[in-house]
Amino acid sequence: MSPLTSRQQWSAGALALLFHAVFFLALVFSVSWRQAPSLPVMAELWTSLPAPPVQAEPRPLPPPPPKPAEVNPEPSPAKPEPSKADIALKAKEAAKQREAELQRIEQEKKRLKLEQEKKLEAERRQKEEAARKKAMEERKRALDRTLAEQMDSELAQEAAQLNQMRQQQQASAARNKLIADYQERIRQKIRSYIRLPRNLTGNPEAVFRVELLPNGEVQRAVLVRTSGQTAYDQEVERAILKASPLPMPPDPAAAASFRSGLTLKFRPQEG
C-alpha cells in the first residue's frame, strides 16, 4: 500500500481524539454522585443447610459424524504385456469379424440388387402388360373399323345386288311380258293360216318347236308332241311355214330366245 499523506494522518488523529472525549463525557454523566442512606442489616439463622436443588442432567450432545476414512487408492496392477499368440489370436478374430462384416455387406448388396431386379422386372411386366392392353385395344378398334367398313361395303354390295336383282327381275318381267306378248302375236299370225280338217274330232293339242332366223323367218318347225290327229298336225305345220316371217320383239335378248327355239302350242278351240 502507498504511505498516507500528512493531511490524512492529521484527519485520523483528530477523529480518534474526538471519539475518546465523547466516551469520557458519557461515563461522567452516567454515574450518580449522591450517597445512598444506610439500612439495617438483618441475618437469618439456619440449623442445617438446605439440600441443593436438583439440577437436570444436561442432554448429551450428539456425537459428531464420523470422518470418512481416507481411502488410499491401491495402485492398479500392471497389465501383463500381450504375447505373440494373443496378438495373433486377436488379429485372427479381427480378420474373422472383418470377413463376417464383408459377407454381411455382400449379402445386403445381393439382397438390394435382387429387390431392385424384382422391382425392375415388375415395372417391365407392368409396362409390357400396359403395352399389350393398348395394342389389343388398338387392334380391337382397328378390327371394329374394318368390320364396320366391311359391313358397310357388304351392305352396299348387297344393296347394289338387290338393286341389280330388282332391275334384272323388272327387266326379266318386262322381257317375259314382251316374249309372252310376241308369242301371242306369233300364235295369232299362225292361227290365221290354219284350216281345220273336216274329220277333226275333239280339241286336240299339237306342240311345235319353231327355230327362227334373226329377221323372223322360219328356219324349220319340229313337232314336239302330236295331237293324235295327223291331219291337224300337218295343217299346223303348214300354217307355221306359211306365216313366215314371224314378228320379232325389239329386245335383242328376247329375240335371241326366239331364235334359239320357240315352243308353241295349238288347239282347234282356244279356251
Output the pTM of the full model.
Answer: 0.41
Please name every residue paired with 221 in a beta bridge, in sequence order, or none if there are none: 210
Element (H, E) at 3: none
Q: Work out whether the CA dihedral 172, 177, 178, 182 comes out positive or negative.
A: positive
Mean per-residue pLDDT of the chain: 79
Question: Is residue 58 domain-resident?
Answer: no
Question: Is residue 56 domain-resident?
Answer: no
Mean pLDDT value across residues 249-264 = 81
Coil, helix or strand at residue 211: strand
The predicted pLDDT at position 7 comes to 66
Question: Is residue 193 domain-resident?
Answer: yes
Find the range with the poorest average confidence among 69-78, 140-149, 153-162, 200-209: 69-78
Question: Is residue 20 domain-resident?
Answer: no
Alpha-carbon span 264 to 271, nearest angstrom: 16
pLDDT band for 76, please (50, 70, 90 cuts).
low
The predicted pLDDT at position 49 comes to 56
Element (H, E) at 269: none
Contact present, 181 and 248 (Cβ < 8 Å): no
Give the max Cα distance, the chain. 231
Question: Is residue 18 domain-resident?
Answer: no
Whether pLDDT at 75 is above 80: no
Alpha-carbon span 186 to 180, nearest angstrom: 10
Range of the domain at 177: 87-271
Please name every residue paired with 262 in a beta bridge, in sequence order, or none if there are none: 210
Return the higher-pLDDT residue of 229 and 31: 229
pLDDT band for 168, please (50, 70, 90 cuts).
confident
The predicted pLDDT at position 223 comes to 92
Residue 17 half-sphere exposure, CB side, CA atoms within 13 Å? 6
Question: Is residue 105 domain-resident?
Answer: yes
Amino acid at position 94, single letter: A
Return the higher-pLDDT residue of 44 and 112: 112
In the chain, the number of structural domains is: 1
Question: Is residue 150 domain-resident?
Answer: yes
CATH number for the domain harbouring residue 219: 3.30.1150.10
Contacting residues for 215 by C-beta, under 8 A, at least 6 apart: 245, 248
Per residue in 93-136, pLDDT (tens digit) is 899 898 899 989 989 989 899 898 988 899 988 888 998 889 88
Find the range with the poorest average confidence among 58-67, 95-104, 171-180, 214-223: 58-67
Contact present, 204 and 220 (Cβ < 8 Å): no
Question: Is residue 271 domain-resident?
Answer: yes
The predicted pLDDT at position 1 comes to 46
